[in-house]
Amino acid sequence: MWLRGVEWVAEKVASARESWRAGWLGFTFTETRSITEEQVRGRDSVVEAFARRGHRPDVIAGEHRAVYRTLARQELSTSRFQFAGFIAGLVVLFAFWVGVGEYFGNHSNAAVMIFAGMGGYVLVAAPMMVVAWLLSRLPSLQLVFVGLYLVAVTVAAGLIVYGEFAGTGPVRALVGAGAIPGALAFAVVEGVLTTGLLVAAVVLGWPVALYAQRYRLLAFPRSQSLRLLFQSIAMSAADEPFLHPDNRRELVRQMAKLAVILKVALWKSVRPSNRLARSVLKHRCALAAQTVEVLGVWVTLPAKTTRADYQERMCALAETLMSGRLDELPVEPLRGAISLQTRLTLLLGFLRTVLIGVLPLGAFYALDLFGVSPPKDVAGPVWTILWAWLLVALLSALGELGTGRTLFDRTLELFSRIAKK
C-alpha cells in the first residue's frame, strides 16, 4: 500500500514535470496546440473535397500539413514573445508596488510591499468580480457595471496622482494614520493605483494589440488564406453543420478575414518591381476580395445548392493559391451586390487624397496664425508649392473618382503609348 502511494506520487510529479516542460520551457502554448488539433480535425474533409476534383489525396494532405506547420512555427515564435512580455509586465508591476511603497514612506521590505500590492488589487477588484458574477445572466448590465466601476477606480487613481503632484492630496495622511488603518489604507491605495495603471495600459496598448493581431494575420498571406479556406471547406462538408447559425456566422467572419488578406497582403507576397504590373496585381486581388465578400452574403442567405457551390469556389480559390497561378483569381464578382461598396470605396479614396493635399496647407496656415511663419522671401515660394500640391491632389482625386485609377497610373499609361509610337 505504501509503495503504491509512493509510485502514485512519483507518477504525478513526472507528469507535472513533463507538462511544465511542454507548456513553459518548450513554449508549446494553447494556440499552437489548437492549430495542430485543427489540422488533424479538418484534414479528412479537406482531402475528400479535393479528391472529388481529381487531386491525389497524399499531395493535398502534404500541402495541408505544410500550411499548418508554417502557422504553428509562427505561433510558437509569437508565444515566446508573449511569454517574455508577460514576465516583463510582472517585473514592472512588482517594481511599481515597491516604488509606491517607498514613495509613501513604507519602510517594509520589498516582499511585504509586493504582497500589499497584490492584496490591495484583490481588495479593490473583489466587489466588481462579485457583482459581475451575480449579473452573469444579464451580460449587457454586467458590461455596463464593470465599465463604470473601472472608470470610477481609474478616476480615483488619477485624483490620487494629481493630489500628490499638487501637494493637496489626503492619501499620505491616511496611510500614516496608525498601524491597522494605515496598513489598510496603504493596501487600498496600492489596489486603486494598480487598477488605474492596468486600465491605462489596456487603453494605450489596445491599438498596439490590434496592429499586432492584424500583422500576424497578414504576415503569411498564403498560409493564412489557405488556413481560412481549409476551415471553410471542412465546415461546409455536410448540410447540417453548414446550415447551423453559429457555423454560418463563423464562415462570414472567415470570409471577412480572407477578403482583407487578399486585398491588403497577397500582392505584397509577390511585390513586382514594375509599377504597372503591381497596379494590375493589386486590382486583381481587390476583385478576388470582393468575390469572397459576396460569398459571405451567400452563406448568410443559403439556398439548396449554396453549400456545394460555396465549397466548389473555396476549393478553386485554394487551388489557385497552392499552385501560385494568380491569373486564375476570381475576377467577376456579383456587380449588383458590391456596387454600393465600390462607390463608398471610391468616395473614401477621394476624401483621403483631398485630405493629403489640404493638410500641409492647413498646417502652414496654422503656423502663420501663431506667428511662427518663416521670412517673407521664404514664405512666398512655400505658399506657391503648397497651393500647387493641393491642385495636384484635387486633380488626382477627381480622376480617381471618375476612372478608378490614379493620376500617376494614367500618366504612366500615356508615356507608355508615346514610347510605343
Separation of alpha carbons 169 and 172, rounded Å:
7
Q: Both 109 and 193 in a single domain?
A: yes
**The predicted structure's pLDDT at residue 28:** 46
Please check whether residue 283 lies inside any domain of the structure. yes
Nearest to 317 by CA among 258, 383, 256, 239: 258
Q: Give the residue numbers spanning the domain of 399.
A: 341-420
Please check whether residue 144 lies inside any domain of the structure. yes
Grid cell in block for residue 143? 458590461
* Average pLDDT over every residue of 362-366: 80
Separation of alpha carbons 54 and 57, rounded Å:
9
| Sequence letter at residue 276 | L
Grid cell in block for residue 82? 508573449
Please check whether residue 17 lies inside any domain of the structure. no
- Residue 404 pLDDT > 60, yes or no? no
pTM here? 0.61
Please check whether residue 8 lies inside any domain of the structure. no
Q: Both 118 and 186 in a single domain?
A: yes
Q: Both 98 and 199 in a single domain?
A: yes
Q: Both 39 and 185 in a single domain?
A: yes
Residues in the chain: 421
Q: Band of the pLDDT at 132, cuts 50, 70, 90?
A: confident
Place of cell 489557385: 320
Question: For 300-341, what is each residue's pLDDT tens digit?
Answer: 888 888 888 888 889 999 999 988 888 888 876 544 444 555
Separation of alpha carbons 68 and 192, rounded Å:
44
User: Regarding predicted confidence, which is higher, 401 or 384?
Assistant: 384
Burial grade of 53 (CB within 10 A; 0-12, 13-18, 19 or more): exposed
**The predicted structure's pLDDT at residue 25:** 43
**The predicted structure's pLDDT at residue 108:** 67
Q: Both 110 and 212 in a single domain?
A: yes
Q: Both 400 and 305 in a single domain?
A: no
- What is the number of domains present in the chain? 3
Q: Both 178 and 267 in a single domain?
A: no
Backbone angles phi, psi at 358, to 5 degrees: -85, -35
**The predicted structure's pLDDT at residue 196:** 86
**The predicted structure's pLDDT at residue 82:** 77
Grid cell in block for residue 43? 484534414
Grid cell in block for residue 366? 496654422
Question: For 15-73, what is each residue's pLDDT tens digit?
Answer: 555 554 444 444 445 667 777 778 778 888 888 888 888 888 888 888 888 888 888 88
CB neighbourhood size of 29 (10 A)? 18
Q: Both 184 and 315 in a single domain?
A: no
Pick left, alpha or beta for residue 173 (phi over 0 → left; psi -120 to 50 → alpha; otherwise beta).
alpha
